[in-house]
Amino acid sequence: MISNLSKLLTVHLPPLLTIVSAFLILITFLSPVPIHTDGISLVSISTTSQLQRRSTFETLGRRLPRAAAVSIVERATAQASASPAMTFGFLGSCTKKTSASDTTCTVSSVSPVYDLSSLPAGLRASFVTSPPQTSPQWTVITIVCIFVFAILTAVPLFVTKLAANPAFCRSTAWVGIIGWLTGLVTVIVLHVTFANAAAAFNMMAANQKSQLVADIGNGFAILWIAFALIVPSLICTLFSCKMHVEPKSG
């Protein structure tokens, strides 16, 4: 039973984790353009956070007459409905000018230019117009490497002799390491860039009394999980290389 469990953890689990990781990165890469998903983005601009803070201060911080409370909520809701909601990703951006309007997206491109026309004129210059240069291209390389790594880790399940082949083992390990490192560095650069852009935007919006707030999207959380899932696969691959490639002493 222990041997079967060991085989499951070291042979069958790594390809599965790597495939799941690759699909998580791919879904995040394609959101919100060209696959429009309201829930996945690298950064978003909306009035949601501001309304939550306003509700906290005005309804919990002090007692208000019912009519005044209703008036505050209705006024805040009307302002939110008339404000744009924007999401940004690797390949483009999507904009919903009001809560009643349709969502429009830019054409997907590896060198995207974000559509900031719905923002007030005084706030457009405070936000980035595109992701860091070449970051989409590096992410494509990452996705390809991770998919190839998933295939290579699954091949020994069907061709057992390859598991002890030094060249195959080294190639598998290098593909996984390259994909993991390039992806991780790219995401770190993206996160720093968008975090600084969001901070600058929020400072400018506060100075102009704007309700709009920029927030880091959950796309980064998905990417961190994806790269964490690859680590066990890399460890198993490197351990396998050490077992089969190292020359036997004596």
pLDDT score, position 91: 95
Answer yes or no: is 250 within a domain: no
CATH of the domain at 24: 1.20.140.150
Residues 62, 176, single domain; the answer is no
pLDDT score, position 245: 59
CA distance 161 to 142: 28
Residues 198, 125, single domain; the answer is yes
Q: Are 152 and 171 in contact (CB under 8 A)?
A: yes
Residues 75, 114, single domain; the answer is no
Residues 31, 128, single domain; the answer is yes
Backbone angles phi, psi at 113, to 5 degrees: -125, 115
What's the whole-model pTM score?
A: 0.81
Residues 56, 163, single domain; the answer is no
Residues 63, 143, single domain; the answer is no
pLDDT score, position 241: 78
Answer yes or no: is 248 within a domain: no
pLDDT score, position 3: 56
Which of the residues in the chain have pLDDT under 50? 49-51, 53-61, 64, 68-70, 72-80, 249-250
pLDDT score, position 66: 55
* Number of independent structural domains in the chain: 2
Last residue of a domain, one of 82, 108, 143: 82
Answer yes or no: is 141 within a domain: yes
Answer yes or no: is 38 within a domain: yes
pLDDT score, position 58: 46
pLDDT score, position 141: 96
Domain that holds residue 179: 2-46+86-242
